[in-house]
Structure 1
Amino acid sequence: IKGRRDAVLISTKTALPMGDGPGDYGSSRSRLIRSVDDALRRLGTDYIDLLQLHAFDAGTPIEEVLSTLDNLIRAGKLRYVGVSNFSGWQVMKSLAQADSQGYPRYVAHQVYYSLVGRDYEWELMPLGLDQGVGALVWSPLGWGRLTGKIRRGQLLPEQSRLHDTASFGPPVEDEHLYRVMDALDVVAEETGKTVPQIAINWLLQRPTVSSVIIGARNEEQLRQNLGAVGWTLTPEQIRQLDAASEVTAPYPYFPYRRQEGFARLNPPVV
């Protein structure tokens, strides 16, 4: 990034363990200060555009976290702050405390969200809309399940890394995955786009989604993923994908999606 700093946005995360010592994990004042200074040194820059807390630290008072982030912003080391993998109450409590004490608000929430993992929609999406917190989506292809390599009756090659990622990520029932893939194949035929491009484009058209984090093993994969932008799915295609990927909402959300009286009081976002 040397000589091009103004042309790039840098985002990094902290909080997860980076060693075995008591000060090597979490969001304490000392850990945050050291993490930011270390990141600046490694990146060869003097500020970070967006620092995100990788996880909620229940062992550190929220006021300590927010005041430290405020000091780092005032020092010019950070521009904005966000979180990742927080629950709704954790985000809301942090925002309320930031508002009451004049600390910077979290502007972004890095979340897992995909056509085979729509839990984000139950609580975090409505919160994001209400509070102005944008979503940065990680694993938009459902831990590799939506690359187009998994279909009904189709065995994975022995060397495929999907054997690992598909077992490591949040569980997905086989039939649910196949139903989503069937719908993606129909839309792919209609649009001439690839399955991953359609899955990413669907996300980019969802409320609160500001950006999608993509990964690539080579330049060709990167170019393929970038083909997800510059076009839009039709409302009917979105409806087909929504229907194929829908699952029963957990309590207390299912009445608002299944019963008219509840839905009239608090309509679902999507």
Structure 2
Amino acid sequence: MSTEQQDWRDHGTGPTTGRGNAIAIALVLPVLLVVSWVVQIGAYLERDFGSMDDRLGPGGVLTRLVIGAALAVGIPAVVLVVQVRARRRERRHSLAAVVAAIVVLVIAVPWNGLVLTSQVRSMAADARQRAQPATAAERHFADGDAGATLERIGDRTVRILGGDRKSAYRDGERAGGAYSEECKLSNAHQGVRWTYWYAPGEYTDADGKELLPEDHTMIEGANRDVDRVRSYWESEGIGARSEADLVPDQISPTADWLESTSSYTRPGPDVDFRTICLVR
């Protein structure tokens, strides 16, 4: 080794080493930061907007967040350690990767600390919520058939007001009745929500004749005997609230297992019952 080269080593002067690799690393680290954001934001989107069957649970979200943190924090931290050691061995080693790693870590560490802490807290709260029992209202039909009960009450209400669901058709198929959809109980477990619907304006009879002709508000043979409906509901343990200020003679069923604000009955007859989310 020449005297000049030895002097470079002793004083850390001379040509910079490892510049190509350091620059390549410095360019890759910000890309990894962006990729980590994509992974993490994608986890939140799948949790909030995915289909009911495919939505990420708390554990799935945490896994994605950890993967993002590994990309944005783990790799830059390793790069920083390796490059600092290289710099200590060779003072002329390029600092480009060290600077890039520090910049990325300054951005990534606070962000990932925030999202990971928030998710862990969310999982703890979710665990506490799921440990709670369903409410008494949600368990109302635990030993019965909510769909059959709702359909029986709905059909009887329609008949009292002069209609007959079993004579209503749409597109050649019997219409109306009770149907269900999935929902979340108050303790975050899966439940089922039932809806009963009879809307003669959308139905025909078996021969294809409209049940509710244009410019009519009631089908043939219908009545306005809402007091009789009230009496029947009372026998089923259901109260009634007048909504005549909204629609003449309209009443809303009230019970802890019904969504009273979105359920109603009025002459026509129009009948719409919606339950709360119930235990399956």
Q: What's the TM-score once normalised by structure 1's chain length?
A: 0.22
RCO (CA 8 Å, sep 6+): is it higher in 1 or 2? 2
Q: Report which of the two structures shows the higher radius of gyration computed on alpha carbons.
A: 2
Q: What's the TM-score once normalised by structure 2's chain length?
A: 0.21
- Greater share of helix residues, 1 or 2? 2
